[in-house]
Amino acid sequence: MAFQAALAALAHECSTCQRCPLAQGRQQVVVSRGNPLARLMLIGEAPGAQEDELGQPFVGRSGQLLDQLLAAAGLDSNQDAYICNGVKCRPPGNRKPTALELAACRPWLQHQIALVQPQVLVLVGATALQAVLGLKGPISQLRGQWQFFEGRACMPIFHPAYLLRNGSSQPGRPRDLTRADLVAVREHLLALR
Ligand code: SF4
Residue 80 has pLDDT above 90, yes or no: yes
Task: Establish how many alpha carbons lie within 13 A of residue 143's alpha carbon, considering only the half-sphere containing its beta carbon.
Answer: 23
The pLDDT value given to residue 42: 98
Long-range (24+ apart) CB contacts under 8 A made by 96-104 are 96/45, 96/46, 96/127, 97/22, 97/45, 97/46, 97/127, 97/131, 99/130, 100/20, 101/20, 101/21, 101/22, 102/127, 102/130, 102/131, 104/19, 104/20
Inter-CA distances, 14 with 8, 11, 23, 71, 111, Å = 10, 5, 11, 30, 10
Other C-beta atoms closer than 10 Å to the C-beta of 86 total 25
Q: What is the CATH number of the domain that holds 101?
A: 3.40.470.10
Residue 169 has pLDDT above 80, yes or no: yes
Q: Quote the domain boundaries for residue 176.
A: 2-192
The closest-lying atom of ligand 1 relative to the alpha carbon of residue 17 is 8
- Among 19, 30, 102, which residue has the most ligand 1 atoms within 8 Å of its CB, making it the best to mutate? 19
Residue 147 has pLDDT above 90, yes or no: yes
Residue 1 has pLDDT above 70, yes or no: no
Structure confidence by residue, pLDDT tens digits, 47-69:
999 999 999 999 999 999 999 99
The pLDDT value given to residue 117: 98
Q: Do residues 30 and 97 make contact, with C-beta atoms less than 8 angstroms apart?
A: no
Number of domains in the chain: 1
Ligand 1 proximity of 104 Cβ (cutoff 6 Å): yes
- Among 85, 90, 106, 108, which residue has the most ligand 1 atoms within 8 Å of its CB, making it the best to mutate? 108
The pLDDT value given to residue 193: 80
In whole numbers, what is the pLDDT of the chain averaged over residues? Answer: 97
Q: Could you tell me what percent of the chain has a pLDDT over 90?
A: 98
Q: How far apart (Å, rounded) are the C-alpha atoms in residues 48 and 58?
A: 8
Four-residue CA torsion sign, 185, 186, 190, 193: positive
